[in-house]
């Protein structure tokens, strides 16, 4: 199950991503926002991040105007590794090397075709589990423990 959320600046892309996920037979849970909701992105970033952190959803996708605010907010939740991606290479690398569990995207910064390719790369790429990557994730977890 994929958690998906956006703010008012990205409802169009959220709908298109959800349609794409439906077409691929991938289950998702929509955490908002709706079209008429003028809202603050941290609320939706936290909802998606909490769903991933709890295990209710395997991964998350967040969309706002640029993706930057969503990424920053989601990364405040312990255990979340949110990556802002603008290309397929970064989407694959964040999964392969960093085991990113949330993807942040910007509706105002990328075309929808690129966004859907990034979503596919993120969802279809597995963590490599090589010792060096596992060790580095342990280092990230250590930073979280020291600073929370």
Q: How far apart are CA 76 and CA 46, in angstroms?
A: 8
Furthest-apart CA atoms within the chain: distance in Å: 47
Distances (CA, A) of 124 to 95, 113, 142: 9, 17, 28
> Given 6, 8, 57, 64, which residue is catalytic?
64
Active site residue 133: no
**Helix (H/G/I), strand (E/B), else coil: 73:** helix
Q: In the numeric block, which tokens belong to residue 11? A: 């409802």
Class of residue 54 by CB neighbours under 10 A (exposed 0-12, middle 13-18, buried 19+): exposed
Active site residue 8: no
Q: In the numeric block, which tokens belong to residue 18? A: 């959800």
Q: In the numeric block, which tokens belong to residue 108? A: 């105002």
> Given 20, 39, 86, 97, which residue is catalytic?
97
As annotated, the active-site residues are: 64, 97
């Amino acid at each position: 199950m994929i958690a998906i959320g956006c703010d008012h600046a990205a409802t169009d892309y959220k709908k298109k991503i959800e349609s794409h996920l439906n077409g691929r037979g991938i289950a998702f849970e929509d955490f908002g926002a709706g079209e008429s909701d003028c809202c603050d992105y941290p609320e939706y970033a936290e909802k998606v991040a909490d769903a991933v952190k709890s295990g209710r959803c395997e991964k998350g996708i967040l969309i706002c105007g640029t993706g930057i605010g969503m990424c920053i907010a989601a990364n405040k939740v312990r255990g979340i590794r949110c990556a802002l991606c603008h290309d397929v290479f970064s989407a694959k690398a964040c999964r392969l090397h960093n085991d990113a569990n949330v993807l942040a995207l910007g509706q105002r910064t990328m075309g929808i075709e690129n966004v859907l390719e990034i979503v596919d790369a993120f969802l279809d790429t597995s963590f490599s589990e090589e010792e060096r990557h596992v060790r580095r994730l342990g280092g990230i977890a250590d930073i979280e423990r020291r600073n929370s």
